[in-house]
Structure formats: C-alpha cells, structure tokens
Structure 1
Amino acid sequence: MTVSRSRGENRPSREAFATRRVTVPVDGSDAECAATLYLPADADDPPAVVMAPPFAAEASFGLPRFAERFAAAGYAALTVDYRGIGRSASGRDAASARDAPAVIPDRQCDDVAAAADFAAGHDDVGDDLVLWGASLAGGYAVSVAADRYDVDAVVAQTPIPDGGLLGGGDSLRSRLRAAAAGLRDRIGGLVGRPHHVKVYGDPDEFAVLNAPGAKDGYVRLIPRESTWQNRTPARGLSALRGYRAVADADAVRCPAFVVAAADDAVVPAESTEAFVDALADPTVLRRPMNHFDAFHDDFEAIVRHQLAFLDATL
C-alpha cells in the first residue's frame, strides 16, 4: 500500500535523543510486544510516557512524531506494537503474518500494562509514569490506569470511550451486521478461511471506522513504506462492542489530559463529555478538529499543550 504521511516541519535533532528497539514480555503469554524506547540525551531518570496506537494500527502510525518531541523535551517515550501487529508480528510464520489478530480490547490493555511494567522497571527511566493513547487507545490508557497506583498522569487523545460507537454505532442494523460478520469469521477460521472487515471506509461502507473524515485521517497515518492491509478479523467486533472505557474512568486516581475534537465524527460530543465527567482530575483541551487531526494539521498545537500538561503535572 502506498499512501501519503503527515510529517512534522519542526522535527527535533536526532542528537536530542536516542532510540532502542526493545522487547516487552507479557505475563501469561508466549508472545511478546515489540517496542521502541526513545531516551532524551541530557536527562537523568526521565519520566516515561508509554504510548499505544489507535485501532488496529501499528506503532509507526503517527506515534514516532509525538515520541520524538517528548524525548527532545526530556521525557522517555515507549511506543509499543500490540501482540501480533506491526513488528510484534515478525516472529509469526508467513501464513499467519498476513492476518493480524482480532482486536480484543482486554488483550491489548494487557499489552499496555506490560509496557508500563517494562518502562517502570527500566534502569534508564525514572519513577514517573505516564500512559498515552490515541483514539481507542485513549480508552486503553484510562482502563489500565484505573487498575494501577503507579501511574502519575494519563493523556487521552480524542479517546473512544465506548467501542459500541464504532462500525456504524449502536443501531440494530449495525449490531446484526457485526454479529453476522463475526460468526462468518469464526466458522471460516475453522477451515482456514477467516473473514475480515475493513478498518476504515467511507460512510456508506461497512467498516470499523466509517464516520466522515475517518478514512482520510487514518490513511494519512500510514507510513509510505508500510505493507499494512486495511482489514481486521471480524470476530473482534463483539469484543469491541463490549468495551467501555467510560466505565473505568471514575477509578483513575491521577490527573488526566483529554484532547477533545469538537468536530469529531467518530465520537459524539456527549460521549466525550460523559467520559471527562467520570474522571476525577481532568484537564480538557477542546479544538475544532476531526478525530485524527491531532496527528496532522493540529499536531503542533496539540503536542505543545500535552507537554505543558506533563511539565506542570510531573
């Protein structure tokens, strides 16, 4: 797949930070998460920002741009590929590597938690821990923080508080269509013929992200050299619809910074407001943008606000 990608005009010098490829073990799993650790050049025991990518995305989809800025500002950043996705899929056999695993929120939250454990125990990282997530992973950051006492801050960028908002919303038609697709995938998987649905699509298509503007925003995240395919196993749809980060929000004890997109066609404003209201100590940045614009045209303003929040909180 060949696509365009947003690139920052003000990328920091590579002398400002170093990168290391690392492997994150996941408790109770025989698979691991591949990750990249960004370490600032002139900071001792820097706070760690653990970063998780949007729905079905690889860590290379927009996260490095933020991670570079965090590292240049004195923060360690750890970008993680969920198990079976991106560089975390490299150890699988060729047949399996063509099919990324289903997106199961609870499983991916375990991956984020494992990355947090890795960062917290790393010799080159300090005691402060931040969970950062965009889109669906904005919900993951909140869900994982709700179960931990060592998280000092959360950054949720245009978070999806309820998986039921995706794939056409909570209408009876969309539910039936998702259930049929999931059943077809489970049955087909028994004979080696899994069924996939599109990750992104136009509003008239059946896709997980089919709200106006979602397709363009997602495509712009994909690096030009990527071999990623626009599909995800349909059996994950039922798990997605059962995931509600908003139900975890009231258990988060640390400060949270929420980037809210006023023109977000993926997440209705009332859902974002309910999510914010459930947090104990929220700071909200509301901007007139769509769901993925924080990675693109609004990047500079967003990253500056996030750094200001982290500097003030940690």
Structure 2
Amino acid sequence: MTKTRARELSRLRYAKNDVDFESEGTRCAGWLYTPEGVSNPPVVVMAGGFGAERTFGLPEIAKEFVAREYAVFLFDYRNFGDSDGEPRNLVNASRHVEDWKAAIDHVRGLNAIDRRKIALWGTSYSGGHVIEAAADDHRIAAVVAQVPFVDGRAVARASGLKKSLKGTVAGVRDLVRKYTFRSPHTVPIAGYPDEFAVLNTPDAMEGMETIVPDPPVWENEVPARVFLEIPFYRPISSVEDVPCPMLLIAGRDDDIVPVSSVQSAAEAADATYLELPIGHFDVYDDALDTVVGYEAAFLDRNVRV
C-alpha cells in the first residue's frame, strides 16, 4: 500500500464493532465496519485464506472498502483466532463453508446495512469458499475471489508426488490420533522450500510473515488431516451454479494456485476474469491498491444498482 493511501486511511472515519455469531453451535468472532455518515450501505463479507485469521492483512483491505462507503463484516472461522472451537487451526473446507453461510445469515439480521446487497470476498482458500457459499444462495449480489483456490487436483499436481505422499502419511497419522482421542498430529502451515509444510513454495514463508501481525501470536501449525482433503476440494465444480456476477483475479506468477485453474473456473462460470503479473501474496502488499481498485469497481457496477 502506498504511503499516501495509508495516510488517507488513517483519517478514515468509521465504526468497528464486535458482532459475534454462532456456527453449528460454536461462537465465531466477527467485526462489523461501517462508514460514518452512510445510511444502510451495502456490505462485503470477508474471511481469511488457508490457515489465516481475520487479523492477517484483512483489516487493511476492509478499510479500503469502507473508504468506498461499503460496510464490511470480517470474521474468524471456528477454531481460529478469536473464535471458539477445538482443535485449534483446524482447516476443513466444508466446516469453513458452513461458517460462511452462518455469517451471511447473521449479516442478514443486522440493521446497520442494506441486507439486499451482500457481496462475498474471498482470498486463496476462502476464494473457493465464497464460490461454494454463493452457489447455494441466490440472494448474494456479487462474489470477488482473488488468487482463489478452485481446484485441489491442480494444486496437488503442482505440489509434486513426493510432497503429496508425505502429506498423505501425515494426514493418516493425524486421523488415527483423532479417532483415538489424542491431540492432533500437526504440520507447519508455511515453510521454506526445503521444509515440509502445507505451503512451502519460495514465497510462502515470507508471504505469511508479511500478513501476520507484529508481534505474532500465531501458531504456524495445522492438523495434518487437511492433506487428505486438499485434492478433493474443487469449487470449480460449483462455479456454474453461482447465479450472481463473479470476479476472479489470478496471479500470473502465483506458485501456489495454478493460474490455469482460475482461468478455467472463470470460463466455466462466464465470470469476469482478471490476470495480473503478481504472486500469491502480492495481493496483500505490493499490489493491494491495484487489486482493491479493480474489486471495488466491479462491486460498484454489480452491487450498487
């Protein structure tokens, strides 16, 4: 983000309130941002990507939308951040999608926003979740998914056979511990290329360190059972069922999410597709202004109608 833009946002006048909700009986922590002086604004619902909490680079993006007179509802999944639930940092796509649906239902009961104009915003793993959630909800006004995880098969192929086999062994070990009522077998979320981690591409560790708040209070670990899920999580199979306008933004230099998978999803859904010369984590930093500008313009065209 540019220094000029950072100064502008520092003068932004808005309210930020704790607005928690329940998903499958578990409390999830939410923040509702509302721009000052705007009556019943449209709302953007947001949550983090793989293994991420709501504090991981998302408040800055939320403020960008608030500056454009959108409300934002930003939440933590169950088992993450300020939300309840055990085991901690459990990444499970179907659970996450249920949390998205619960968050959307809760937002529809709020009085401070225009409940007819709800947009979903996802990034990386949650870029797939917003597709799944919108496919089951004809009242969503628009979907924005940046560097979205849309095809687990493509991601698994890009990871290579050696990592996939090692991940499968770790995942089975974790499941054995789960069903024998022991604490999870965990693996690092992010690591360097010579380390075993869910994300170990050249920019993964540095990218995560960029978005994790300072000082970090984050445990860089996830129950290994997620390796058994990743190849079978394919939001690309649901894109044609999404009835609202969608914007999919891909990074040409993304070494986590294959750009071809995002392009294929956009073509299948007849969605707006934008490919930029950026890496996976640039959307939170160097390219933030550019990416949010495109996203806000898309929402203005499709939500403010």
Q: Report if TM-score (shorter chain) is over 0.5.
A: yes
- In the alignment, the residues of structure 2 paired with residue 149 and residue 105 of structure 1 have an alpha-carbon distance, to the nearest angstrom, of 21
* Between 116-125 and 52-61, the greater mean CA deviation after superposition: 116-125
Pair 1:108-2:96 in alignment: yes
Q: Which of 96, 121, 133 pairs up with 1:132?
A: 121
Q: Could you tell me how far 1:304 is from its partner in structure 2?
A: 1.3
Label 1:221 to 1:168 Cα distance change in 2 as closer, same or farther (>3 A): farther
Contact 2:177–2:185 (Cα < 8 Å) also in 1: yes
The residue identity in structure 2 corresponding to 1:121 is G
Report the 3-state secondary structure (helix = DSSP H, G, I; strand = E; otherwise coil) of the residue aligned with 2:240: helix
* Between 74-83 and 189-198, the greater mean CA deviation after superposition: 189-198
- In the alignment, the residues of structure 2 paired with residue 153 and residue 310 of structure 1 have an alpha-carbon distance, to the nearest angstrom, of 7
Q: List structure 1 runs of 4+ shifted beyond 6 angstroms.
A: 5-8
Pair 1:287-2:276 in alignment: yes
Which residue number in structure 1 is paired with residue 235 of structure 2? Answer: 245
- In the alignment, the residues of structure 2 paired with residue 226 and residue 201 of structure 1 have an alpha-carbon distance, to the nearest angstrom, of 16
Task: Write out per-residue CA displacement over residues 212-243 of structure 1, whole angstroms, 9 at most, x where no aligned residue.
Answer: 21221121010003311111000122122221
Q: Which of 197, 214, 232 pairs up with 1:207?
A: 197
Pair 1:146-2:135 in alignment: yes
* Identity among equivalent pairs (%): 36
Q: How does 1:152-171 map to 2 (within 5 A)?
A: 152-166=141-155, 169=158, 171=160
Q: Over aligned residues, Cα RMSD in angstroms?
A: 2.1
Which residue number in structure 2 is paired with residue 300 of structure 1? Answer: 289
Which residue number in structure 1 is paired with residue 13 of structure 2? Answer: 16
Which residue number in structure 1 is paired with residue 186 of structure 2? Answer: 196
Task: Write out per-residue CA displacement over residues 237-269 of structure 1, whole angstroms, 9 at most, x where no aligned residue.
Answer: 212222101111111111111111111111222
- In the alignment, the residues of structure 2 paired with residue 53 and residue 101 of structure 1 have an alpha-carbon distance, to the nearest angstrom, of 12
- In the alignment, the residues of structure 2 paired with residue 172 and residue 297 of structure 1 have an alpha-carbon distance, to the nearest angstrom, of 32
- In the alignment, the residues of structure 2 paired with residue 290 and residue 56 of structure 1 have an alpha-carbon distance, to the nearest angstrom, of 18
Q: Could you tell me how far 1:172 is from its partner in structure 2?
A: 3.9
Q: Which of 163, 168, 183 pairs up with 1:174?
A: 163
- In the alignment, the residues of structure 2 paired with residue 172 and residue 286 of structure 1 have an alpha-carbon distance, to the nearest angstrom, of 28
The residue identity in structure 2 corresponding to 1:41 is E
Aligned residues: 300
Contact 1:48–1:130 (Cα < 8 Å) also in 2: yes
Which residue number in structure 2 is paired with residue 185 of structure 1? Answer: 174
Which residue number in structure 1 is paired with residue 215 of structure 2? Answer: 225
Report the 3-state secondary structure (helix = DSSP H, G, I; strand = E; otherwise coil) of the residue aligned with 2:272: strand
Runs of at least 5 residues in structure 1 that lack an aligned partner in the other structure: none
Q: Could you tell me how far 1:191 is from its partner in structure 2?
A: 5.5
The residue identity in structure 2 corresponding to 1:263 is D
Which residue number in structure 1 is paired with residue 78 of structure 2? Answer: 83
Contact 1:250–1:279 (Cα < 8 Å) also in 2: yes
Contact 1:6–1:220 (Cα < 8 Å) also in 2: no
Q: TM-score, normalised on structure 2?
A: 0.92
Task: Write out per-residue CA displacement over residues 20-68 of structure 1, whole angstroms, 9 at most, x where no aligned residue.
Answer: 0111122xx2212101000111211111100010101000001101111
Q: Could you tell me how far 1:175 is from its partner in structure 2?
A: 3.1
